[in-house]
Amino acid sequence: MKFKRILAMAITLVMLLASVEMTVSAASDNARRLTIDMTAKTGALKQGAAGFLYGLGANDVPTTNTLTPIKPKVTVQKAPEGLQHPNGDCLRIAEGFIESGGEQVQIYMQDYYGQWSYENTGIAMYEQVVRPQVPLNRDHPYSANMVYIPFNEPDQI
């Protein structure tokens, strides 16, 4: 139901933008105008930005039948055996996600830690967290679809 409401709002916005000429004014006497022709065909919808941030709880949650029509490309999930979230382990969701058409599982490696803003005790401790993750990901059947994100929001961490 929520998806239908969002879709309806998006269609309404596109129709509104198609009927309004958009202009951009410069701060000089030579004002510039940008006109967008919303009737021009640019090709098929690519859905390249479709994805999730911690959107998958377990394998087949949500189901393949739910995921396939929205054509997700990327999901960001917690590290293997991570403590920060109760579910959504990257290795447990990979099979269902890839079989639903997903292409990339990004692994927030720091999400192994249980607390935010991560138990930062230095790089030596972080290496102890990262080292066991790498073979688990490397040996997974979908390892070619795994992308390591070693630092999540690295400012001040």
The pLDDT-based confidence of 19 (bands split at 50, 70, 90) is: low
**For position 1, what pLDDT does the model report?**
60
For residue 54, is pLDDT > 80?
yes
For residue 156, is pLDDT > 80?
no
pLDDT digits (tens, 9 = 90+) for 65-81: 988 888 889 999 989 88
3-state secondary structure of 124: helix
Closest CA to 136 of 80, 60, 86, 94: 80
For residue 109, is pLDDT > 80?
yes
Q: What is the average pLDDT value for the chain, to the nearest integer?
A: 80
**For position 26, what pLDDT does the model report?**
42
**For position 7, what pLDDT does the model report?**
65
Do 81 and 87 touch, CB atoms closer than 8 A?
Answer: no
For residues 145 and 103, give the distance between their C-alpha atoms in angstroms, rounded to a whole number.
Answer: 6
**For position 152, what pLDDT does the model report?**
77
Who contacts 53 (Cβ-Cβ below 8 Å, separation ≥6)? 75, 76
Closest CA to 78 of 112, 46, 127: 112
**For position 123, what pLDDT does the model report?**
84
Q: Which two tokens stand for residue 12?
A: 């309404």
**For position 96, what pLDDT does the model report?**
92
